[in-house]
Amino acid sequence: MTDDAHIYDANTGTHLGRRRLNDYEVAAFVKIVLTVAHLDHVPENCAMENLRAWCQRCHLRYDAQHHATNARETRRSRKAVSDLFSPTPASKTEGA
């Protein structure tokens, strides 16, 4: 582990300063997982200006609307397919 760290505001991302880790009296440190976000939500577009390195919290917050839209479309498409291809009780009895 390094001797110092940069501190950022969790809501705005504003750099708050640099602190020495021995300035804190804590029982345990929190592990932060770094993720890579595609700003245009297209994984194939790996241009540097399209990528951001964010913690999971910030990445999920950025993608929340995109995830909600995808989930809504997935649920809608599954419902449409099941309605279209599910056999009706009448068609089962006609063939027997």
In 3D space, the residue among 5, 1, 8 whose CA is nearest the CA of residue 19 turns out to be 5
Q: Rounded to an integer, what distance in angstroms lies between the CA atom of residue 27 and that of residue 49?
A: 39
> 33 vs 92, which has greater pLDDT?
33
Task: State the pairing for strand pair 34-38/15-20.
Answer: unpaired
Placement of tokens 């245009």 in the chain: 40
Span 1-24, pLDDT tens digits: 557 777 877 777 788 888 777 766
Residue with tokens 């750099």: 15
- Domain borders along the chain are 4-86
Per the prediction, the chain carries an average pLDDT of 80
Interval 78-90: pLDDT, tens: 876 655 665 665 5
Distance of alpha carbon 81 from alpha carbon 77, whole angstroms: 6
Q: Is the pTM of this model over 0.85?
A: no
Average pLDDT of span 42-52? 94
| pLDDT recorded at residue 62 | 94
